[in-house]
Structure 1
């Protein structure tokens, strides 16, 4: 491995000892924009040996995903490889025509893209999409292809794979869709697997399963894995070597344990310090947010000389139940089963659990995007199922969502400014000039440069799109923000900024948060109370420190044990 001239790489042990199966030399990638050419990747070198896992780490916009796209020759229409070479075995991919590349992708080079919803065909059953990959490359047909596809789905963690084979992407959760993509990438047993944020949508237990599977592929088949991630703790735990990118260049690289134990570059030190899995402190002292001080003057929720006053409930779910009809099943599927949950005013309540545990459906009930089949959902003491007209509009203004997939929740025709201003226009807040000023302030709060205000979603990175979604949710100054995996797509530095922002807004404005996530490391940093869900039911609840120190059920213990980076924190 070599680094850019500005880097602080470690020459000893950096290069694979065998002939590389993938070799990148002086790679440069340029994008043509309305503001001129932008060189997004500058002089990247990378060698990958058979059976080796190399993680490429960096914040959103660092160029790591662009390197992955360039290797597979899947750059956006306005992007091009402007210099250097990418060699797979004896084949120069930079000089290969598209017909050659179609034979390479899937067969010799497997790809796991970041966004599962936009990379699965919505009108084709998921099993058929895996079968298609097998048939295109002549590996299996008919019944044999179906059997292999079912086995791949099972290996990727899909329960009841034979039934789920015939279902469509919209019938799967975000995490399950990501597992389908992983099964597709592994279908043809490629020699090199490029995984671009493959676990960002997965809960920690499935994340461990998927990464174990990738490790098994690498050792069993002699395959090499390029793992693109923003999580340095995860990279160091899973990869043989780590490459750190910053602003299009490699600034440090080396064996993972050496790099974590003794980071040379300041940027690497910042990434390591911000990783939730190794953090030793809360983002702020959220345990006291909204509580009165000794003189009774502290937060936005009650006060009194007699001591802390319990805040009033803002959102209450009582016996909330939601069922769905699923094709192929006689009995309805119960996604949420008699859930009791309370979000006090000015507090952060986290709901955690595996993909399919019911946590996102709980969020949809809270937002009244779905009506409960049984039980009640109350906001400010009102039954939200009974709200109509102006009362419903007021509820919509008071409760704002941030969804898991920013690409799907942002209108592709809207610029950043138009997307953030949309709720202000709908609720008739100010004139155009006033709204423009508000948008500028919101973009600043979520660490987005105002220069991006004229760009559209496809011109932004995944993390940048999520920050736009968060800015839009804050536009109307809501009382409750429901965040459904809102920071899962963010790199650790921006994640830290967003979490600081959340806590600061809570302190200053008395905001409440319902925080839906699979990331228990983040929960430990920001939540006042945690609800653990499994198969639609709440199996445990309590303050984060109590949950982590003395979990009461085996399921919670499994979730905690699967958090990456815990071994690093102990060093």
Structure 2
């Protein structure tokens, strides 16, 4: 019998809170063999990331391992001296955290941050800069030689996540803990990165703990799957067995909720004979031929240090968003999706072209008029931790837009906050909590509740469900479609999850290198793709051929 590289036995983790001690992990046991990939799946808040933090003792200051054992290569982690732990972290046990913006220093260049990892562990050889370039190329960052000297804000969300993966792999660890390592990545880059992780496992005999809410991804990539629910392991076994023959009721719900191309569309299609490009208005009223938003010839360029020519993040982008309809933009990380969204939101100025909201060209509006537009158009961003002020409670965050726009009395706003928390499936006792006390998925639900506070006409959702486990994701998608039906809401939905895009969209645009290369209904795009990049995106969907 091969000795396990990692052996966790009856692990218990507790957190000190204002309401007393909370036991977050309740007697979890599992093993990871050399060269094995174990996936840990479960809903947001189930304890997946807490286990990851426990394995190299990186729990929050109010957390502690209250019982059990964690043995890495025979050495007991729970009682190990801090100096010995530091020699393990990074070198022997690599970590890819979930949130790139809070784990990358905005003041330091990307290359310097990876160099720091190599220097700390004496890795990389004599030419460490070349090793950094190789690492960036390995995780799929183009023009790595030039981009090594850029800062995190000059990278897209997906590219920042790839930098974290490069840092986790820098010292070729024997165990890599990957906490939602590809939640910010489009499927083609996700496939490339996970193929590299597979190669690492095979070449070096390294082990991987893959923490994910994507069950098809877990089944496709892992040897075994461990399912967690409320701090306990409810089921574990061979990956395909978990998918095909789930035993626990919770696992069955996860399997049923996982979006796939077999999932029925959630949206109401426009009635036969409706005007082309028109959306069905709320409550099944007559189709409205007038789009709520119109983007025409949009271009956005940036100046990059050391380059004479500007970099065009978006070019000649044109589309409309009819009232009561969902328009989705898909494409690889860095294809221009989020740039287009930021310009539409008025967060950045267009270099060329126009954006019209409710018939008004936003570039011509005065400040007070722009305030009115921003009440009608609300964003939900990809990274909830960066978009939520850590000094505000959940209730204050949701109430803030109501106060800014001077809506309602204090009592009316409190009632509205309670209703919004209920809408996004958060209990009322979440109101007094702060963002750092929530899981990633819970933070995203707060961001969605805040966006809905002003009863907007258009919500721009930039990877808004990528951090959610499949059960909460299904609930949020149903909520969004219910609100669309009841209120006539319009959505611009930006995502790399094509199965979700197919479920929620009326129209889909595929972007590549800043341009729209293909447009059509979900059926046209996914069943008869014309562009090569669309076919590549479809071919890379995890679990499609399981």
TM-score (norm 2): 0.97
CA offset at residue 290 of structure 1?
12
Question: Corresponding residue for 1:236?
Answer: 219
Alignment partners' CA distance in 1, 2:359 and 2:105: 43
Question: Corresponding residue for 2:296?
Answer: 318
Question: Corresponding residue for 2:520?
Answer: 542
CA offset at residue 497 of structure 1?
0.5
CA offset at residue 367 of structure 1?
0.4
Deviation per CA, 1:493-545, whole angstroms, max 9, x where unpaired? 11001000000000000000001111111100000000000000000000001
Query: Residues 477 and 149 from structure 1, CA distance in 2 versus in 1: closer, same or farther, beyond 3 angstroms?
Result: same
Task: Tell me, yes or no, if structure 1 residue 137 matches structure 2 residue 121.
Answer: yes
Query: Residues 390 and 192 from structure 1, CA distance in 2 versus in 1: closer, same or farther, beyond 3 angstroms?
Result: same
Deviation per CA, 1:118-149, whole angstroms, max 9, x where unpaired? 111111111111111111111246x5111111
Question: Corresponding residue for 1:383?
Answer: 361
Alignment partners' CA distance in 2, 1:97 and 1:290: 70
Question: Corresponding residue for 1:521?
Answer: 499
Alignment partners' CA distance in 1, 2:283 and 2:264: 24
Task: Tell me, yes or no, if structure 1 residue 258 matches structure 2 residue 241.
Answer: yes
- 1:297-376 paired onto structure 2 within 5 Å: 299-300=281-282, 309=287, 311-376=289-354
Deviation per CA, 1:241-287, whole angstroms, max 9, x where unpaired? 000000000000100011111111111111111111365212x2432
Contact 1:41 1:248 in 2 (8 A): yes
Over the aligned positions, Cα root-mean-square deviation in angstroms equals 1.5
Task: Tell me, yes or no, if structure 1 residue 203 matches structure 2 residue 186.
Answer: yes
Alignment partners' CA distance in 2, 1:556 and 1:438: 42
CA offset at residue 289 of structure 1?
8.6
Contact 1:116 1:181 in 2 (8 A): yes
Alignment partners' CA distance in 2, 1:549 and 1:502: 25
Task: Tell me, yes or no, if structure 1 residue 160 matches structure 2 residue 143.
Answer: yes
Question: Corresponding residue for 1:99?
Answer: 83
Question: Corresponding residue for 2:28?
Answer: 44
CA offset at residue 300 of structure 1?
2.6
- 1:26-175 paired onto structure 2 within 5 Å: 26-140=10-124, 144-175=127-158
1:481 alignment partner, one of 454, 459, 465: 459
TM-score (norm 1): 0.93
Alignment partners' CA distance in 1, 2:267 and 2:111: 47
Question: Corresponding residue for 1:552?
Answer: 530
Contact 2:312 2:514 in 1 (8 A): yes
**How many residues were matched structurally?**
541
**Which runs of structure 1 show a deviation greater than 4 angstroms over 4 or more consecutive aligned residues?**
288-292, 301-304
CA offset at residue 313 of structure 1?
0.6
Alignment partners' CA distance in 2, 1:287 and 1:274: 22
CA offset at residue 299 of structure 1?
4.2
Query: Residues 392 and 301 from structure 1, CA distance in 2 versus in 1: closer, same or farther, beyond 3 angstroms?
Result: farther
Task: Tell me, yes or no, if structure 1 residue 396 matches structure 2 residue 374.
Answer: yes
1:421 alignment partner, one of 395, 399, 418: 399
